[in-house]
Chain A
Amino acid sequence: MMHEEQSWKAVAEIDQAEVFHFPQGLVGFPGANDYVMLNSGHGDIVCMQATEQAEAAFLVSPWDVNRLGKQPELTSDQKKCLQCRNETRLLWLLVLNPFSDPAWVLANMRAPVAINLDASLGMQCVQANPELDLHFHWMCQPGQSNQAA
């Protein structure tokens, strides 16, 4: 079990060998249902890699409450899918895109990933709010600058 310290967030414990099951897959990747977290321990960004589909690999980072405000809330259907209860430990992750912008690593706030750490279940939760940014400037590309957005 890896004990990952997040200075500005809750402490997230992620077992590198643990498989997280996504009943719906991620949007556009319906056949990739099981993911493992790779490279956890290198700061705030980890690689979420599908076990059965090599091309389904996503960089994710925990939702930053200080920058983005409060975490999204699950709908009743999403709670059902994730088998959430009141005491469930839930981890919200942003899907990052470092490949489309030469200057910025982009974060998709419209469709964050929620993981039920107790049940090892995950889901990409599309948010109803159309104002949430699909291309939020998360951080400068490494080598560009060390300053965050």
Chain B
Amino acid sequence: MIVLRRKVGQAIHIGKDIRIVVTEVESNTRAHLGIEAPIEVPVHRLEIHEAIQQENCAASQGDARAWLQEAVNDA
């Protein structure tokens, strides 16, 4: 992991077109980051990303079409 020291107002550039700016630091406990990224790059808090990813994987772990057909047959 690369660790960089940045002050408020300073930025980090990643790849071709991702820019992260430190906009505020609360008493050395929490940093506020501004993120500019292309539309096709999703930006989420890690814990939310992991929770949604887990849900999506669970939702696609079975045969959705077979389940749907079975549900129709049972109706």
Q: How far is the CB of A115 from chain B (nearest CB, A)?
A: 16
A99-B62, A142-B74, A142-B75 are contacts. A45–B68 as well, Cβ < 8 Å? yes
Q: How far is the CB of B34 from chain A (nearest CB, A)?
A: 12
Contact segment of A24-32, A66-74, A85-93: A24-32
Are A80 and B39 in contact, with the CB atoms below 8 A? Answer: yes
1/0 per residue A87-110: CB within 8 Å of B? 000000001111110000000101
A25 CB contacts on chain B under 8 angstroms: 42
1/0 per residue A21-43: CB within 8 Å of B? 00111111110000000110011
**16 other A-B residue contacts (CB within 8 Å) besides A26-B56, A27-B56:** A24-B39, A24-B40, A24-B41, A29-B60, A39-B65, A39-B68, A55-B60, A57-B64, A59-B59, A95-B55, A99-B62, A100-B58, A110-B48, A126-B52, A134-B51, A142-B75
Please list the residues of chain B having a beta carbon within 8 angstroms of any beta carbon in chain A: 39-42, 44, 48-49, 51-65, 67-72, 74-75
User: Which 4 A-B pairs give the minimum distances between C-beta atoms?
Assistant: A28-B53, A97-B59, A99-B62, A142-B74
